[in-house]
Amino acid sequence: MTFVVTENCIKCKYTDCVEVCPVDCFYEGPNFLVIDPDECIDCALCEPECPAEAIFSEDELPEDQKEYIEINADLCRTWPNITEKKDPLPDAADWDGVKGKLKDLAK
């Protein structure tokens, strides 16, 4: 089992989760983070750190977010690893909670 970054991270990209990950399994795109499912050890430290509440255990993933399992697995192969906290995107607070952001995912 793994943890999955979901839609609410798009255009927010808070990196509080990265800071607590003991195995550095986060990868960074232009406006989204993903977790490498092969590296995640299911420690659950990242989930409560996400201000946007965008991280879920694969077993507790909302039905409408299931496609993010594959999105995380695919994008972690090409995006660079991120291991230190950075500032969120400038308008992150405006995008937090907005639905239908998959179309805005920059790859």
Report yes or no on 77 lying in a domain.
Answer: yes
- The total number of structural domains that make up the chain: 1
Separation CA 76–CA 58 (nearest Å): 16
Structure tokens, 91: 């308008």
Note the pLDDT of residue 1: 82
CATH number, domain at 23?
3.30.70.20
Report yes or no on 68 lying in a domain.
Answer: yes
Report yes or no on 64 lying in a domain.
Answer: yes
Structure tokens, 37: 């499912």
Note the pLDDT of residue 33: 98
Report yes or no on 91 lying in a domain.
Answer: no
Domain extent at residue 44: 3-83
Torsion of CA 54, 51, 27, 36, to 10 degrees: -40
List the chain residues with pLDDT less than 70: none
Note the pLDDT of residue 48: 98
Report yes or no on 12 lying in a domain.
Answer: yes
Report yes or no on 92 lying in a domain.
Answer: no
